[in-house]
Structure 1
Amino acid sequence: MRAMVLGAAWLPLELECRATPKPGPGELRLRVLACAVCRTDLHIVDGELPLPVLPIVPGHEIVGVVDALGAGVEGFAIGERVGVPWLGHSCGCCAFCLDAHENLCDAPRFTGYHRDGGFASHVIAEAAFCLPLELPETDAARIAPLLCAGLIGWRSLKAAGEVARTRRLGLYGFGAAAHLMTQVAVAQGREVYAFSRPGDHATQALARSLGAAWAGGSDQRPPEPLDAAILFAPAGELVPAALRAVRKGGRVVCGGIHMSDIPSFAYRLLWEERSVVSVANLTRADAREFLDFAQSHPLRVHVKTYALTQANEALADLRAGRIEGAAVLVP
């Protein structure tokens, strides 16, 4: 097998040829069809998240075909197409797991972080955390972004509040997650206000083409007070900006795993029962809900594809903001 491997933070990924691994008990081996490149991968490569395991193969938005079954695996068949998300294991016995919050598990294992991920020709995954992919879309490259940008976006959207109370929704940072959640939110009957980097007119045009009622720079105020806002951009300075944009009682959701420091701001921005919350990881229940939604509401997924050996180029393009939609590696 081939894999793009991170040896240390800030170093380029290096191509390695390895023996194709065998799945252990309860595991699947997948031949990778596509793996999207997430901003979390960038945080890992850039040393913004502590690295518990090195070397590591990044990548956690994986679409693959089952080509080997470990002992005891049931419910999957050779040749079946499945997805592998960020949450690769939860303990099942801590207080959070027992309370249906496995996203907050005390002993989790994340794909492409604790265990090798999908920047490779093959990957081993725990069968219990693999997702059957029964979707109308057949292009693996267009499915892959659903497995993190879509899933975290969905959890963030739920955290923003019920549709009846959050009709006007702001999305800050119009990348992979926001371009999917714009379509979801519009299908739910919400008005979407999209915020991109100031002056990024191409991204703003993309947002409007996907149904956004308004699109502008993150330095602008929306034409109407927002009921809620989701921050997908890892920029802490956007938190007070979003608080200025939401109405009394509004909510700001931070959807990323890492964010730059939030600057101090006047208490009046938080007053009047505004709130700031974060979203961490995902649950398998989130995945089932979102994939069911995507099955009945096909989404337009904008991707830029790269060969496996172009993983460093894809990360550089993501870092520089040169991608509309999602970057996807296609081994």
Structure 2
Amino acid sequence: MKAAVVTSFTAPLEIQERAVPQPGAGQVLIRLETCGLCHTDIHAAHGDWPVKPQPPFVPGHEGIGIVEELGSGVTERTVGERVAIPWLGSACGECRFCIDGRETLCERQQNSGYSIDGAFAEYAVASARFVVPVPDGLSSLDAAPLSCAGVTTYKAIKVAHVQPTERVAVFGVGGLGHLAVQYARIVGGSVIAVDIEDEKLDLATELGAEHVVNAAKVDPVAAIQALGGADVAVVLAASPRVFEQAFSSLNRGGRLICVALPADQEMSVSIFETVLKGISIIGSIVGTRQDLAEVFALHAAGHTRIIAETRRLEQVNEAIAEVLSGKVLARLVFEY
């Protein structure tokens, strides 16, 4: 099979021919149809974060494909079923986080395309319990970005507890941001979209944002405060400066939802303002299997749109350069 492999944090990915993996106990073999390119895949390939994956490895955690073989003991899935391989590759199922519905906080979790090989390949093995069925009527092209960009922003809006008519500022309109705009609208939020590309801001308006702010042309804090301030700020741009701007844009009682993971990990906020204004700073990490099932159901019901362009796996390094340029409108998806 063909796979895109990280051999070094300082080298481009290599397209290699590998043997088709065999499913072990509790696993399924999946023939991939699509896989989205997430910024996390780029961080993984470059070794940007403190806990680093171990090369060689195959990135990819927005994989959609068909179950072709069942490992021993598998009863949850069937051959021919279409499933998603999300970021949460597995969790222990026994710790207090798994038991109370916060499986993405499990300390023994495995992550697709990071600690275990992912979906930048024609075939992959995955835990039968942690792949998520894809509903009929939902294309594999759309399902791929929903498996991370969708479930991540859906969960961010969930933990923000957005109330109808509250102003929600979405910092970074792209693969994640174009979905965050839609989820905030679904729960009744009034969306302010912030980016530095007019084309992305035009897309945000098309998807329901009531206001847009080009942070390359105006001070986003002043612009948002002129609109009445934000009750919720969701940060999807990988820059500490953007986190600080988002914090400063908040009203009293506001919630800063931290989603993006910059390589430079420190931001500066005022303790005085945090306390006196009653601001909450909340970290939100992807979503559970149930969250992803809900994301798929919303899309199948026609409540969201995916903006994506396709690429071939052989174009992986060019695709990464496109994403890093900031010019990609929303999501790039590899089709096999």
Instruction: Calculate the TM-score normalised by the size of structure 1.
Output: 0.94
Choose the corresponding residue for 1:299, options 284, 304, 312: 304
Sort the Cα spacing of 1:203 and 1:111 in 2 relative to 1 into closer, same or farther, 3 A: same
8 Å Cα contact 2:4/2:13 also seen in 1: yes
Whole-Å separation in 1 of the counterparts to 2:91 and 2:326? 33
> How many pairs are equivalent?
327
Q: Give the secondary-structure state (helix, strand or coil) at the position aligned to 2:7.
A: coil
Aligned mates of 1:257, 1:2 — CA distance in 2 = 30
Contact 1:81 1:132 in 2 (8 A): yes
Match status 1:87 vs 2:88? yes
Measured in 2, the distance between the counterparts of 1:52 and 1:307 equals 24
* Alignment map for 1:153-172 (pairs within 5 Å): 153-164=153-164, 167-172=166-171
The aligned counterpart of 2:175 is 176
Task: Determine the structure 2 residue equivalent to 1:59.
Answer: 60
CA distance in 1, matches of 2:78, 2:270: 57
Equivalence for 2:204: 207
Shift of residue 246 of structure 1? 1.4
Is the aligned partner of 1:278 residue 2:289?
A: no
Q: By how many angstroms is 1:8 displaced?
A: 1.4
Whether the 8 Å CA contact 1:104–1:281 is kept in 2: the answer is no
TM-score by length of 2: 0.93
Choose from 199, 213, 217 the match for 1:216: 213
> Hey, what does 1:119 align to over in structure 2?
120
1:303-318 alignment, distance < 5 Å: 303-318=308-323
Q: CA deviation at 1:265?
A: 4.0
- Distance in 2 (alpha carbons) for counterparts of 1:36 and 1:52: 19
Give the Cα–Cα distance (whole angstroms) in 2 for the partners of residues 252 and 264 of structure 1. 13
Q: What secondary structure sits across from 1:129 in the alignment? A: coil
Q: Is contact 2:153–2:286 with CA below 8 Å preserved after alignment? A: no
Aligned to 2:133: 132
**Closer, same or farther in 2 for the Cα pair 1:257/1:105, shift >3 Å?**
farther
* One-letter amino acid of the structure 1 residue matched with residue 322 of structure 2: D
In 2, the alpha carbon distance for the partners of 1:68 and 1:260 equals: 42
Of 111-120 and 215-224, the range deviating more from structure 2: 215-224
Q: Deviations for 1:217-240, whole angstroms, at most 9, x for unmatched residues?
A: 234222221110100111111222
Structure 1 letter corresponding to 2:200: T
Q: For residue 240 of structure 1, what is the amino acid of its counterpart?
A: E
Whichever residue aligns with residue 107 of structure 2, its letter is D
Question: What is the RMSD of the two structures over their aligned residues, measured on CA atoms?
Answer: 1.6
Residue 71 of structure 1 deviates from its aligned partner by: 1.3
What are the superposed Cα offsets for residues 229-277 of structure 1, whole Å, 9 maximum, x if unpaired? Answer: 1001111112221122111000010112445334434444423101211
User: In the alignment, what sits opposite 1:228?
Assistant: 232
8 Å CA contact 1:239, 1:262 repeated in 2: no
Q: What SS does the corresponding residue of 1:53 show, helix, strand or coil? A: coil
CA distance in structure 2 between the partners assigned to 1:55 and 1:259 by the alignment? 21
Identity score, percent: 33
Deviations 1:170-224 (A, max 9, x none): 1001111110121222232221110002xx1111111111111011123422222
Counterpart Cα distance in 2 of 1:213 and 1:315: 31
The counterpart of 2:249, out of the listed 245, 248, 252, is: 245
Structure 1 spans left out of the alignment, 5+ residues: none
- Structure 2 residue matching 1:125: 3-state secondary structure: strand
- Unmatched segments (≥5 aa) in structure 2: none
Q: Please give the secondary structure, in 2, of the residue aligned with 1:112.
A: coil
* Residue 15 (structure 1) aligns with: 15
User: By how many angstroms is 1:69 displaced?
Assistant: 1.1
* Aligned residue number for residue 290 of structure 1: 295
For 1:216, give the aligned amino acid. V
Which residue of the partner structure matches residue 187 of structure 1?
Answer: 186
Does structure 2 conserve the Cα–Cα contact (< 8 Å) formed by 1:150 and 1:180?
A: yes
Q: Tell me the distance in 2 between the aligned counterparts of 1:177 and 1:6.
A: 24
